[in-house]
Chain A
C-alpha cells in the first residue's frame, strides 16, 4: 500500500492564482482531513470528510474548498491564493473517527508571493 500520497511536494504561486492540492489514500479509509502547519502553531484543521459525498469545515476553512467524490481522493482547492496561505499542508486519513490511528501524507510546502 502507498498509504496517503500528496502532490505536489512543493509549489510556488503568485497572489490571486488558484490551484488544487491532491490527496489520495489506498487504505479504504472513510475519514480524511486537511491541515495546515505554520511556525509556532500547532496543526490546524482546514476541512474534513467522514465519507464520500460528505465534507465539513474545520477551524480555518476560509479561502479553501474541498470535495469528496470517491473514498480514495480528497483534493483541496485554493480559490485565489494569498500570502497568508503560505504554509505546509498535510492530508490525513483514518479508518473511522478521530479515536482511530491517523495516517499522514508527506506534506505540500506552498509559498504564495
Chain B
C-alpha cells in the first residue's frame, strides 16, 4: 500500500461543476502539498498546508490531521482546470526529509 493514496484516479466533469479530489496518507506528516501538472508537463505548487483550510480563488484545500486526510475542491470548474492534481506529504524527518507523492488525479473538465 502506498503511503499516499489519491482518489479518484480519473475524474471527468462538466464545466461549472463542483469538484473534490481526495488524498489519504498513512504516516505522520509536518506538511501536505497540492500540486498541479498541466498537459505540457510543468508542475506548479497550489497549496502547502499543515492544518485547517486554505483558499486561492476557486480552489480550496482542507486537511484533517487526525484522520490523515486532505481534500482539494474546485468550485465552478472550467476547462482550463483540466490537469493532473498531485498530493505530496512531507514526513518531517530532519535528516532525509523528503516528499512522498501520490500518483495523481487526472481531471478533465468538458465545456
A residues neighboring B (CB under 8 Å)? 33, 40-45, 48, 56, 58-59, 88, 90, 92, 97-104, 106-107, 109
Contacts and interface: CB of A to CB of B under 8 A. Distances in A.
Interface in B37-68: 41-45, 48, 50
Nearest to A92: B43
Contacts, number: 63
Given A99-B48, A104-B44, A107-B41, A45 B98 contact: yes
Dominant secondary structure at the A interface: loop
B103 A42 contact: yes
Given A42-B2, A42-B101, A59-B98, A99 B41 contact: no
Nearest to A57: B96
B98 to A, nearest CB: 5
A103 B45 contact: yes
A47 to B, nearest CB: 11
Given A59-B98, A106-B41, 10 more contacts: A42-B102, A45-B98, A97-B97, A98-B30, A98-B31, A98-B90, A98-B97, A102-B35, A102-B99, A103-B45
A103 B92 CA distance: 18
Nearest to A31: B97
B45 A102 contact: yes
